[in-house]
């Protein structure tokens, strides 16, 4: 059986699964996002008394038995549980049963920042308090990051391409780009793609030492911004060849037109406006889209001083001309920074924004910053017909990834 040429194969998003501090399942997530609600709360996952930061976007209503029944998930890390649960939600959303998966050329691509560091923390704690012989050997294989996608494959019997990238805060978009390429090249018909992370003590201590964590709220693009708040969760998308999706009557949220990657090759933590611009311009050139055709930009928007300033500078240079002001909002103001899940969850928000003709807001915005002179859709969502949307993500190491989505025609 032959396959159509690369140029003929269009790539669409047909299923959405979200685990987040704003809701489990895209319906609850989107309702709270549009309402401008905050998913930030006091951390309960571990004792923060020795820290000077105590708030995060913690997922507090996740119950593994809701997704996995009575099956024991005790050895599987929280990040893998998030990823598998979001995958199940995405498959239900695209009207697929697990038996259906055997009929498709299907792969898995998941991104992460921390992997299963929580598993390592548990192992380390047992080693210190009890000794080597008390470490459960069943836990050890679940520590490496590749265990996240392997858990999805093993539980759903997916025997195709299986891939994990650890490109930090851009990891979700990198997974989407990898999936786009696989489908465009005819290697697969469908991919399960996205990102997942759960937060651990190391994450809070690390970002606090970098002086990058706010006290109680994240204020992207605001003059008084103090930094990010860490978050956790998973975003999984079912990505599919258009003809394949149409033949099975799948819902289509958006088309992926292409993506752009760049590396600043500069500072490890502070992004460069030139590197951001390069990724955005590559994404636009690869699609033939002009800047003025972009209706909305989902910002990386962490709430840190340098990131917001450089992202705003790059966006102004590319998109703000002749009085044109492309709106750009940051949902991290509501979710916190979900690390490897961030750009995947933001891609889902982009799909729902296109579907609903609503732009989610940047909350906690009170005072404009002349260095971030953009339309950040402050505090309240906005109705707007959206045809072309850009999803920005910029990671430590200067790894930038921008994805262009279009309303399905």
Report which secondary-structure segment, H or E, holds 239: strand 233-241
| Residue 215, both tokens | 């006290």
Question: Which of these is catalytic: 178, 218, 244, 300?
Answer: 300
Question: Which of these is catalytic: 169, 350, 351, 372?
Answer: 169
- Give the Cα separation of 43 and 53 in Å (integer): 9
Q: Kindly give the interhelix angle for 26-34 and 342-356, rounded to the nearest 10 degrees.
A: 80
| Residue 87, both tokens | 């995958």
351 catalytic? Reply is no
Which residues are within 8 A (CB) of 266 and not within 5 positions of it... i.e. 6 or more apart?
272, 275, 398
Which residues are within 8 A (CB) of 381 and not within 5 positions of it... i.e. 6 or more apart?
33, 34, 35, 36, 358, 359, 360, 361
| Residue 45, both tokens | 């996952």
- The neighbour count for residue 13, using CB atoms within 10 Å, is 29
Which residues are within 8 A (CB) of 211 and not within 5 positions of it... i.e. 6 or more apart?
227
95 catalytic? Reply is no
Beta bridge partners of 107: 191
300 catalytic? Reply is yes
How open is the CA angle 234-118-214, to the nearest 5 degrees? 70
Residue 20: helix, strand or coil by DSSP? strand
Question: Which of these is catalytic: 178, 337, 372, 376?
Answer: 337
Question: Mind telling me the catalytic residues?
Answer: 169, 300, 337
């Amino acid at each position: 059986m032959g396959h159509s040429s690369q140029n003929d194969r269009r790539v669409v998003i047909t299923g959405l699964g979200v685990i987040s501090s704003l809701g489990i399942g895209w319906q609850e997530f989107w309702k709270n996002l549009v309402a401008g609600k905050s998913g930030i709360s006091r951390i309960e996952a571990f004792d923060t008394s020795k820290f000077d930061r105590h708030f995060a976007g913690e997922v507090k209503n996740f119950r593994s038995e809701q997704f996995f029944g009575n099956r024991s998930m005790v050895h599987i890390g929280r990040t893998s549980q998030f990823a598998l649960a979001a995958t199940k939600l995405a498959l239900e959303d695209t009207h697929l049963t697990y038996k259906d998966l055997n009929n498709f050329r299907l792969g898995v691509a998941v991104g992460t920042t921390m992997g299963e560091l929580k598993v390592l923390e548990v192992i380390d704690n047992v080693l210190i308090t009890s000794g080597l012989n008390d470490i459960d050997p069943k836990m050890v294989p679940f520590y490496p990051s590749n265990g996240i996608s392997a858990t999805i494959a093993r539980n759903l019997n997916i025997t195709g391409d299986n891939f994990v990238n650890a490109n930090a805060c851009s990891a979700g978009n990198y997974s989407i780009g990898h999936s786009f390429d696989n489908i465009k090249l005819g290697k697969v018909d469908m991919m399960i793609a996205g990102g997942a992370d759960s937060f651990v003590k190391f994450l809070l201590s690390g970002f606090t030492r970098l002086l990058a964590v706010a006290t109680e709220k994240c204020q992207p693009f605001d003059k008084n911004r103090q930094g990010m708040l860490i978050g956790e969760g998973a975003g999984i998308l079912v990505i599919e060849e258009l003809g394949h999706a149409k033949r099975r009557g799948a819902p289509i949220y958006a088309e992926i037109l292409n993506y752009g990657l760049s590396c600043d090759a500069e500072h490890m933590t502070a992004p460069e406006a030139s590197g951001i611009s390069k990724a955005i311009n590559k994404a636009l050139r690869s699609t033939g889209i002009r800047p003025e055709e972009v209706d909305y930009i989902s910002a990386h928007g962490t709430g840190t001083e340098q990131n917001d300033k450089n992202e705003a500078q790059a966006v102004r240079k590319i998109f703000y001309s002749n009085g044109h002001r492309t709106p750009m909002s940051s949902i991290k103001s509501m979710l916190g920074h979900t690390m490897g899940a961030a750009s995947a969850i933001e891609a889902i928000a982009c799909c729902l924004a296109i579907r609903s003709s609503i732009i989610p807001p940047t909350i906690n915005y009170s005072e404009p910053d002349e260095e971030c002179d953009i339309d950040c859709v402050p505090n309240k969502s906005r109705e707007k017909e959206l045809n072309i949307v850009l999803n920005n993500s910029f990671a430590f190491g200067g790894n930038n990834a921008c994805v262009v989505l279009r309303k399905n025609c």
